[in-house]
Structure 1
Amino acid sequence: MRHRPLSLHWRITLFAGLLILFTLSLAMVILSWQAENIETRRLRERTEIAARTAATMPEVADWVETRAQDRLYDVIERLRIVHNMDYITVYDQSRIRLVHPNPSRIGEILPKGIDDAAFAEHIYTKKAKGEEGVFIKAYFPIKNKNLEQIGVIVAGKRLPTAVEFFVHQLKSISLAVFLALLIGLVGSWFLALQVKRSLLGLEPHQIVRMYSERLAAFDAIQEGVIAIDMEEKVTIFNRSAKRILHVEGETIGHSIRDLIPDTRLPEVLEARKPFVHTEFRLGNQYIVSTRVPIMLGDEMIGALAVFTDRTEAASLAEMLTGVQAYAEALKIQAHEHKNVLHAIAGMLELDKKDEALKYLHQVHVTYDEWLKITSAIKVPSIAGLILGKMAKAKTLNIVLMIDRDSAFHTIPERLTAGDMVTIIGNLLENAFDALKEIENPDKRVILYIYDDDTSLTIAVNDNGPGIDERVLDRLFERGVSGKDDSHLGVGLYLVRNVVERAGGWIDFETQQGEGAEFVVTIPKKEK
């Protein structure tokens, strides 16, 4: 059975408790070391005072000279007890021990080379290690009335060990240590609660598992997913995003602008609002993206983009658009051919040969116009669209004329055939709508298309009533229209989006009662 890890709450509390305990222990060690130094200085003073007191007593000098050891022992022992020394030893000048707390050591001779300075009238203290520990020893000379040295007094006191100092300090501040540890543990407990709440009640192993699951999920989906923080640093960059954008290597922590120079994700941080299902060109790719801000409560902490590469779909759409436009045009032509054949057959049956020839001539002119269109417009989908719109205009009693200087060879890199259909189709529909409701036997719409190496120009002119002055300032807003049941409010909105996405612009002129003209210009090369 797998061992369940200790909760974050308990881990923080125990770690903080151990840290406090270690800190207090370290502080006590330092205090013990300082106390040892203080105690050493104090014992040096006390042992020196005890040795001086014994050496300067006149009777001590007399008894050393007369070797009155019993009297000398009694006096020295009383001094030892009074000064709380572990021992006070008396040596004569011959290094013979005259007094010692241990009677068995009386009479021993101190070897030469040991404490020679004490027998040369030197006064000093030193730290010496003995059988029972480390002692502080003070040396003081004994002098007779002639100030001649006749012996040495040695007072000694054992220095407590480091452990004894530590235990002593612990006893003296045990209550403070207990209170500090208790307060630290309680504080750690509440700190752990706050940390746990900030992590939404999740344990570290749960966060790791969720993080791993999220990464696996992001890498499994086909859409690209990129997230950045408020400093535009990448926090998520899944495999699909790398594949779609052709990015290799490590991405987390890098600036999004360094990885994708023409990125639009930082726009979310600036606008502080989502951009849902937007379409744009990224290099040679056609991207559909949804970009939203990442919120933590009321605070924005980053931005997220979910996108897919629609380049292949756009290419298929172009093919389908061209095929559909041509199919529609052929359908219209077939219908027209049938009508033409019926009309000619009827004229021939009525033996009206001259009228039949005249009608054939008119039909020939119409088909010549169609051939001119297909010759000038080299993009099949657009040629098919125009032929279809010409047929529709005819049903509306509108003459759709193609400027004789029109020529269209290639679609700009940042547009698709579908985009071109959107632009031309909506501009023509708006012109048809403007002419549909007016009484004018000469309804005309003129289409001009021309492209060269630098730009593509599309112009649509009509002789309708013009644009209502009330909507001129909001003409390209969604839903804004100058008349009921008109596509103006939607069509121009779509046209503007496509044109601006391609880096182009749209201008218009209008005059009440004389019509309107829209001119779209799209550069073929980025500036």
Structure 2
Amino acid sequence: MNPHPAPGRLTLTGSLFIGYVCLLAVALAVIGSLWAIHLDRETDRQYAERVLTVARSVAVLPEVVEGLQAVDPSEDLDPLADRISSATGADYLVIASPDGTRHTHPDKSRIGETVSTPPGPVVRGTEWTGVQDGTQGRTVRAKIPVFSGGGSVNGGDAQGEIVGYVSLGILDSSATTDARASIPVILAATALVLVLGVGGSWVLSRQVRAKTHGLEPADITALLESREALLYAVREGVLAVDRDDRILLVNPPARTMLGLPKGVEGSRLDELGLSERARDIVSGADPGDDLILLSGDRVLVANRMPVRIRGEEAGAVVTLRDRTEVDRLTGELDGARTVTRGLRAQTHEFANRVHTVAGMLELGAHDEARAYLADLAATHTRTSSGVAEHVRDPALAALTLAKSAQASELGVDLRLSPMTSVPVSLKGDLRSDALLTLGNLVDNALDAVTPNGWVELMVRLHTVADTGLPHDLLEIRVTDSGQGVSDELAEEIFRYGFTTKASRDGGTRGLGLALVKQVCESRGGSIEMEAPDAEEGAVFTVCLPVVTAAVAR
């Protein structure tokens, strides 16, 4: 990605800065215009109130009331009007009769003439204010009636008939001049705000640049598309959480592996119904590399990498790899290794017996040698025929014989229960699941007993006719003479990593029973443990439907 834009093109921050300034300038222009219009209207209103107040005061003056009723009203009223105009700053003051004849006027030659604007409603006893064009120009004026007995309409004390009216005004140009005098103030305030806004826009654009690390929109889009392509292209699950263990990101493989619904982004780990071990791994409470996590019928390998931003921990990214098939193949391989070890033990034992017979023949003890061979043949025949008679599946029978040889090496008596009956060969994944289950349960039992102890194995295929179930059922039961597991640990023993013993080979312990439980659940079966009693130790019973859980449903 190129952090610099092409020549002639504005950067993101440049575009934002120009956009902010233009927007601010338009907003300030509109606000300034509205301010000027409002000020002009407010000035007109103030001038209207001013002329109305002065005209009302003039209309109730006794000199005006008496003057309008005199023989020559102009003689007394005109000097009075000049003094009032000078004192109040009015541009003109006209006192006229109801018929419109002027008795006062700034232009003395117009006294005695009819007014240029009709009296209007004032001769009917109504006050009036507004803007009109007269002999003095366009004015803001007020017209107030004068009553013969004094008083006013506004005061509610008017008496007598209307003997005239007062028309007082101020030139509209004077009001406009006052309004225009405020324009420099408006412009100065607008310019100041614009300067402050430009400075704020520059600071804001720099902050945006810092937040985006100087990337342009095309670069940000490319990063987003690359991230989406990467997350959806990899087969591994990717899960990201923040420092508060809140889900930030989860790709489809991770959602499938952990059984998460869509739209979990933003949820906390304890709100998703994850297992305790899954929460410990994702939150970092269980540190380490390549941690095993059992999720549903899957065996996952999890790695957690903390994420640090500017030296502070911001969360973590957890990667998940599905190794379910690998572990199942490993279980089958362990079974094959067990068979190999059993055959090796049998070979060693056979060699010892051959050497024994050879020694007897060297010593001439032919009858003893014959008897010894007959006893060996009978013992081997009983063991092999007993297994072959009850277990017709070759792989299961071979594993049973191998476990028997392994038990003999450990000084443990491995018994085959008389209830054992597998009259047919097992098919496909049922055989693999049965081998994994039998191997793990017998290995755990051999680890649990001491020399001279015993382990009893029962494998039985229950048919539909026997159980009344809609499918056949394979039952595997392993009983040992060890100390067993207490009721308090009945659920814990099926959790990954739990063990009640030290490993003989120094390897990882606590996975066998967890895998067995996982196999059972994936087939819709079950595994149960009975507490020890006085005569026997632990009893583990596994039931595997011949059909998978999906087919059974």
Q: Distance in 1 between matches of 2:89 and 2:459?
A: 118
1:218 is aligned to 231
Alignment of 1:279 onto 2:298 = no
Alignment of 1:290 onto 2:302 = yes
Show CA shifts across 1:307-361 (max 9, x none). Answer: 3333443554455455555555566667777887888899899794784476256
Structure 1 residues 423, 274: CA separation in 2 closer, same or farther (over 3 Å shift)?
A: farther
1:6 to partner: Cα distance: 1.2
Alignment of 1:424 onto 2:436 = no
1:57 is aligned to 64
Structure 1 unaligned runs (5+)?
Answer: 436-442
Q: Which amino acid letter does the alignment assign opposite residue 298 of structure 2?
A: Y
Structure 1 residues 109, 491: CA separation in 2 closer, same or farther (over 3 Å shift)?
A: same
1:153 is aligned to 166
Alignment of 1:447 onto 2:456 = yes
Q: Which amino acid letter does the alignment assign opposite residue 39 of structure 1?
A: Q
Q: Distance in 2 between matches of 1:243 and 1:33?
A: 71
2:94 is aligned to 89
1:130 to partner: Cα distance: 5.1
**Is the contact between residue 301 and residue 320 of structure 2 (CA under 8 Å) also seen in structure 1?**
yes
Secondary structure in 1 matching 2:537: strand
Secondary structure in 1 matching 2:538: strand
- After superposition, residues 439-478 of structure 1 pair within 5 angstroms as 443-450=452-459, 458-462=477-481
Q: Distance in 1 between matches of 2:32 and 2:138?
A: 25
Of residues 120, 127, 131, the one that matches 1:116 is 120
Secondary structure in 2 matching 1:215: helix
Q: Which amino acid letter does the alignment assign opposite residue 167 of structure 2?
A: V
Alignment of 1:308 onto 2:326 = no
Structure 1 residues 103, 68: CA separation in 2 closer, same or farther (over 3 Å shift)?
A: closer
Show CA shifts across 1:202-245 (max 9, x none). Answer: 87957766554433322222112345789998642323346667
The number of residue pairs the alignment matches comes to 495
**Is the contact between residue 47 and residue 136 of structure 1 (CA under 8 Å) also seen in structure 2?**
no
Q: Which amino acid letter does the alignment assign opposite residue 140 of structure 1?
A: P
Q: Which amino acid letter does the alignment assign opposite residue 425 of structure 1?
A: D
Structure 1 residues 517, 244: CA separation in 2 closer, same or farther (over 3 Å shift)?
A: closer
Structure 1 residues 230, 25: CA separation in 2 closer, same or farther (over 3 Å shift)?
A: farther
Structure 1 residues 133, 240: CA separation in 2 closer, same or farther (over 3 Å shift)?
A: farther
1:386 is aligned to 400
1:440 is aligned to none
Q: Distance in 2 between matches of 1:21 and 1:104?
A: 51
2:143 is aligned to 138
- After superposition, residues 187-266 of structure 1 pair within 5 angstroms as 210-227=223-240, 235-241=248-254, 251=263, 263-264=274-275
**Is the contact between residue 89 and residue 99 of structure 1 (CA under 8 Å) also seen in structure 2?**
yes
Q: Distance in 2 between matches of 1:263 and 1:357?
A: 65
2:467 is aligned to none
Of residues 107, 125, 129, the one that matches 1:126 is 129
Q: Distance in 1 between matches of 2:437 and 2:205?
A: 58
Structure 2 unaligned runs (5+)?
Answer: 1-5, 151-158, 463-471
Q: Distance in 1 between matches of 2:175 and 2:437?
A: 92
Of residues 359, 365, 376, the one that matches 1:362 is 376
Q: Which amino acid letter does the alignment assign opposite residue 279 of structure 2?
A: V
Structure 1 residues 168, 370: CA separation in 2 closer, same or farther (over 3 Å shift)?
A: farther
RMSD over aligned Cα, in angstroms? 6.2
Q: Distance in 2 between matches of 1:375 and 1:301?
A: 64
2:85 is aligned to 80
Q: Distance in 2 between matches of 1:139 and 1:256?
A: 79
Show CA shifts across 1:162-203 (max 9, x none). Answer: 99759739849978x999999999999999999999x69787
**Is the contact between residue 138 and residue 171 of structure 2 (CA under 8 Å) also seen in structure 1?**
yes
Structure 1 residues 215, 359: CA separation in 2 closer, same or farther (over 3 Å shift)?
A: same
Of residues 404, 412, 415, the one that matches 2:418 is 404
Q: Which amino acid letter does the alignment assign opposite residue 421 of structure 1?
A: G
Q: Which amino acid letter does the alignment assign opposite residue 251 of structure 1?
A: G
**Is the contact between residue 131 and residue 140 of structure 2 (CA under 8 Å) also seen in structure 1?**
yes
Structure 1 residues 91, 243: CA separation in 2 closer, same or farther (over 3 Å shift)?
A: same
1:519 is aligned to 539
Moved more, 181-190 or 93-102: 181-190
**Is the contact between residue 126 and residue 137 of structure 1 (CA under 8 Å) also seen in structure 2?**
yes
TM-score (norm 2): 0.62
- After superposition, residues 486-525 of structure 1 pair within 5 angstroms as 487=504, 493-495=510-512, 497-498=514-515, 504=527, 506=529, 509=532, 517-522=537-542
Secondary structure in 2 matching 1:404: coil
Secondary structure in 2 matching 1:520: strand
Identity of aligned residues (%): 17
**Is the contact between residue 268 and residue 291 of structure 1 (CA under 8 Å) also seen in structure 2?**
no
2:279 is aligned to 268
**Is the contact between residue 50 and residue 79 of structure 1 (CA under 8 Å) also seen in structure 2?**
no
1:118 to partner: Cα distance: 1.4
Q: Distance in 1 between matches of 2:246 and 2:177?
A: 55
1:369 to partner: Cα distance: 1.9
Show CA shifts across 1:30-89 (max 9, x none). Answer: 9859955972674254343454267843675268x53748x8555434322321223323
Q: Distance in 2 between matches of 1:239 and 1:12?
A: 40
**Is the contact between residue 55 and residue 144 of structure 2 (CA under 8 Å) also seen in structure 1?**
yes
Q: Distance in 1 between matches of 2:201 and 2:127?
A: 53
1:428 to partner: Cα distance: 1.6
Show CA shifts across 1:463-496 (max 9, x none). Answer: 8xx79xxxx99x97979888xx863997764445
Secondary structure in 2 matching 1:93: coil
Q: Which amino acid letter does the alignment assign opposite residue 519 of structure 1?
A: V
**Is the contact between residue 47 and residue 140 of structure 2 (CA under 8 Å) also seen in structure 1?**
no
Secondary structure in 2 matching 1:362: helix
Q: Distance in 1 between matches of 2:321 and 2:177?
A: 72
Alignment of 1:66 onto 2:66 = no
Show CA shifts across 1:97-124 (max 9, x none). Answer: 5554467977774589x5432123x251
Q: Distance in 1 between matches of 2:105 and 2:138?
A: 18
Secondary structure in 2 matching 1:218: helix
Q: Distance in 2 between matches of 1:56 and 1:413?
A: 129
Q: Distance in 2 between matches of 1:480 and 1:318?
A: 18
Secondary structure in 1 matching 2:405: helix
Show CA shifts across 1:378-410 (max 9, x none). Answer: 776654443223223334554433333345779
Q: Distance in 2 between matches of 1:303 and 1:374?
A: 55
Q: Distance in 1 between matches of 2:69 and 2:221?
A: 88
Q: Distance in 2 between matches of 1:107 and 1:417?
A: 132
Q: Distance in 1 between matches of 2:145 and 2:479?
A: 123
Q: Distance in 2 between matches of 1:18 and 1:415?
A: 76
Q: Distance in 2 between matches of 1:414 and 1:395?
A: 26
Q: Which amino acid letter does the alignment assign opposite residue 302 of structure 2?
A: T
